[in-house]
Amino acid sequence: MIVSTVDAMNRKRCKSMSRRSLAARAVVTLSLGAGLALAAGTASAQVRLPPDHCEGALLVAEQIKQRYDISPRLEASFQKFRLSNCDVLTSFERDTEVDVKAFLEFRLRFEAWKVCNDDPLKRGCQ
């Protein structure tokens, strides 16, 4: 009699645990699905520079392209940046040491341009 009571309790506990684990799996699956959906939405979002900064960045990019013999992939990256209206999330592909130097100079010159654009009287901007 005690054995059958214990068996009945074990069966009841197993069913309860099975329901809980099924519910837990459902919650995890829904959470992962929602996370992936949000990530996919974020990946397509664009963060663009303001129009005056975009114009400055494109001017600096043209100067860099004239100064350096950059790879076709970096050239395409600058083109993609231009076509995206200066999406700051644009990936800039660099294949060579020249590309690395050119892109570094692009970033530095653009930062300097922004500083001088915001405060033309600042030392070093004239």
| Residues 64, 34 within the same domain | no
Per-residue pLDDT, 30: 40
| Residues 38, 55 within the same domain | no
| Residues 37, 56 within the same domain | no
Per-residue pLDDT, 29: 44
| Residues 61, 40 within the same domain | no
| Residues 28, 65 within the same domain | no
**Number of domains the chain is built from:** 2
Per-residue pLDDT, 117: 85
What residue numbers bound the domain in which 1 lies? 1-45
DSSP output for the chain:
-HHHHHHHHHHHHHHHHHHHHHHHHHHHHHHHHHHHHHHHHHHT---BPPHHHHHHHHHHHHHHHHHS---HHHHHHHHHHHHTTSBTT------SHHHHHHHHHHHHHHHHHHHHHH-TTSTT--
| Residues 61, 100 within the same domain | yes
| Residues 40, 70 within the same domain | no
Q: What angle do CA 42, 47, 51 make, to 5 degrees?
A: 160
Per-residue pLDDT, 107: 94
Q: Each residue's pLDDT tens digit in the chain (126 positions)?
A: 555 665 665 566 555 545 555 445 544 444 444 343 444 444 557 789 999 999 999 999 999 999 999 999 999 999 999 999 999 999 999 999 999 999 999 999 999 998 888 888 888 787
Per-residue pLDDT, 126: 73
For residue 58, being part of any structural domain is answered with yes
Non-local (6+) Cβ contacts of 63 within 8 A are 109
Contact 46, 84 (CB under 8 A): yes
For residue 126, being part of any structural domain is answered with no
For residue 123, being part of any structural domain is answered with no
Per-residue pLDDT, 32: 41
| Residues 114, 55 within the same domain | yes
Per-residue pLDDT, 12: 61
